[in-house]
Structure 1
Amino acid sequence: MNLTEHYNKLYNQSIEKIREGNVLTDKLINDENDKRRGLTVLIRPSEDIKKRIQHFQGEMSNIDNQQYYQPISDMHITVLSIISCYDGFDLSQVNIPNYVHLIKESIRNTPKISLQFKGISTSREAVMVQGFPLNDNLESLRNRLRSNFKATSLQQSIDARYTTSTAHITTARFRKQIKHPEKYAELLENYRNVDFGHFKPEAVELVYNDWYQKTHIVETLFKAHL
């Protein structure tokens, strides 16, 4: 299944549920006792793309401001989740220089990654901007990271939940039932094919993060230019 088919499947499975107000709410977004933490390799979208997404979020918020709209500072594209967030994980449990060394080796001589963001997709839990790699370099980097980490005894849970293959940016999460579901769904349909722009990432980061990549929790452990 290619990315377009994947995004279409997600959208088609969820948009009518959203229109009916039948969404799955996340009760942990504002829970200060949520201690799920992990390690993630990610890239940040360009300022232009973030601003276009922020405009889209503003339109969603005008219809329903009680949902969680990811702050512009938190927007990201996951390259690979090295350790998926779980309750109790702490940096003291791992040797970060070993992880940094492997990431340095993996990104060495990485050709330029190019990404396009066009249209939106949905699930019953969230709204995301669709990301499409314009070359094979992101997938090649992911595969080098997979291979290098799985050849070690370092703690990792790569692909344990699912195999990362998309390049989306999550823009909204449902934390309450939608106030005006039909109007909300109509807006989402209007953004189904909107072009948010394209860019070539200039850096990759290794971060210690919570489930939502909240800036006040995230700790950047390593950053390298691509």
Structure 2
Amino acid sequence: MYAQIVLFDGFDPLDVIAPYEVLVAGSDYLGGELTVELVSAEGPRAVVSGSRGLTLHATATLDPSRPGFVIVPGAVGPMEGDPDAVATIPVLLARFGDTDAVPLIRTALDNPAVTVATVCGGSLALAMAGLIEGRHATTHHLGVDVLEATGAVPVPARVVDDGDLISAGGVTSGLDLALYLLHRGYGPRIALAVEQMFAFERRGTVWTNTGRAPQAW
């Protein structure tokens, strides 16, 4: 199994590092069964984040045929500004839609052996690219209107499990997302072992499209 964390220009570093650390720890508890990689659509390269030039290195090309997880982070930058002059978060997420990552992630979504997951604005990047229309998802609270406007179905939960699409809310939810991926993929004992190692307890609601719908008051 593989966990491929997708880097793109302007990515949010915490959206990447939090799930990376959790999944690497999970891999250690699994005896190396889970391979965790930083990838990009363009192949191995240095990728500059949106956080003061912090750079991470993609070591491989995103491969949608590999079974496991494909994790898409959000972007970081100013919220407002002239879009022709300033790389705001909306601009960075829109640029993602023009990259080679979009057809690769579309292929991953069509692969029953792959679960696509997002952190924070990662779901917005997919929604703006037309990849998750009609799908349940969550994102940072400032982006919920955009998520809905692009055809996704917003759910106000920390983690939203819509089958082969799992999304998480604000930037720190990358920890909760990765722990949930370990729990769903390998069981609660692996996830709990990582929680104990990191001295972190998962928080918030995990929503799944199951059970009874609440009645209106």
Q: Taking CA–CA contacts closer than 8 Å with sequence separation of 6 or more, which of the two structures ends up with the larger relative contact order? A: 1
Task: Mark yes or no: TM-score above 0.5.
Answer: no
TM-score of the superposition, structure 2-length normalised? 0.24
Kindly name which structure, 1 or 2, has the bigger radius of gyration based on alpha carbons. 1
TM-score of the superposition, structure 1-length normalised? 0.23
